[in-house]
Amino acid sequence: MASTRCPPAEPAPFGVATASSLVVRDGTEVEATGRVADTPMRFCAPALTTPMYADTCHINVPITGLSTAPEGIVRLRGIWKAGVLEVRERLDPLPDPARSWATPCAPPEGGWRTGQADGEELHHYVLDEHPEQFRRPWASFPDGQAGVDVLVVEVVAGDVQAAGHELKSRYNGNLCVVDATGKPSLKDQKGIRDAVIEPLRAIMRDEANGVYGLGGTDTVQVDLLMLTPALADRFAQISPALELRPWLRPVS
């Protein structure tokens, strides 16, 4: 069974410690990518629609400077002034950052197999019985092999080879066991979330704050309309582990 070492985790972008570069003040040049709604004209953040919000543009900012609402997704740049985005430029959307789903293990002798495998027993072993030893399993896709997927399990503590044998006894599909020593385990990740979730939910309950999503693994990602000075202060009091992801942000 092949195993490899993961590269060290990179610092989380736009964490609380570096949030000052994301704060929007009156007169700041800003930009965002999204959809424009008409009557009244407003710029819509990519917040998911829920049964609570029938309006697909419930998180938005009012805009001026456009005669008509453009169709599709657009990137707008302008000046934030008195609670309104004064549009100065319409730009092509930036490409979405690509995420690699490549398999971080060499294929075994005979190559990867096609077909599906039952992962219930392995997931129970990893997620429920040993969350202090592993990270969440994920599916990878070997280059040039259509219809083939490989389950990747990252081991953060203990003997990697022994862990691989235990995992293989519980899963008969393609398996890649990765040495991820030093990365947060499932148990660590839960501790990070549990420490901040209640104060974050308190902020999220006030719609005026524009926080529309919480997620992440090694950090807690906070998706929000924009980072005001007041919100930056509140997040700083909660935890430096937060990863702030404002939609409308200053032009760098």
Q: What is the arithmetic mean of pLDDT over 199-210?
A: 94
| pLDDT greater than 50 at residue 1 | no
What DSSP line would sit under 90-105, residue for residue? EEPPPPPPP-----SS
Average pLDDT, the chain: 89
Q: What is the arithmetic mean of pLDDT over 203-222?
A: 93
User: 8: which DSSP letter?
Assistant: P
Give the largest CA-CA distance in the chain.
65
How confident is the model at residue 15, as a pLDDT? 57
Identify the weakest region by mean pLDDT among 94-98, 121-125, 168-172, 228-232.
Answer: 94-98
Q: Work out the percent of the chain whose per-residue pLDDT is above 70.
A: 90
Sorted by where each starts, the structural domains of the chain and their CATH numbers stand as 19-92+187-250 (2.40.50), 99-179 (no CATH)
Is beta strand 60-64 parallel, antiparallel or unpaired with respect to 42-44? Answer: antiparallel
* pLDDT, tens digit, 9 for 90 and up, residues 158-175: 999 999 999 999 999 999
Q: What is the arithmetic mean of pLDDT over 55-75?
A: 92
Partnered with residue 143 across adjacent β-strands are: none
Kindly report the pTM of this predicted structure: 0.82
* pLDDT, tens digit, 9 for 90 and up, residues 181-198: 999 999 999 999 999 999
Encoded tokens for 91: 């730009």
Taking the CB of residue 241, how many other CB atoms lie within 10 A of it?
18
Would you say the C-alpha torsion 19, 213, 203, 61 has a positive or negative sign? Answer: positive
Q: What is the arithmetic mean of pLDDT over 227-244?
A: 91
* Nearest-angstrom CA–CA distance, 15 and 239: 10
Identify the weakest region by mean pLDDT among 67-71, 133-137, 150-154.
Answer: 67-71
Helix/strand/coil (H, E, C) string of 161-183? HHHHHHHHCCCCCCEEEEECCCC
How far is CA 169 from each of CA 108, 130, 159, 173, 175, rounded to the nearest angstrom?
16, 15, 16, 10, 11
| pLDDT greater than 70 at residue 212 | yes
Q: Is 129 exposed, middle or buried (0-12, 13-18, 19+ CB in 10 A)?
A: exposed
| pLDDT greater than 70 at residue 52 | no
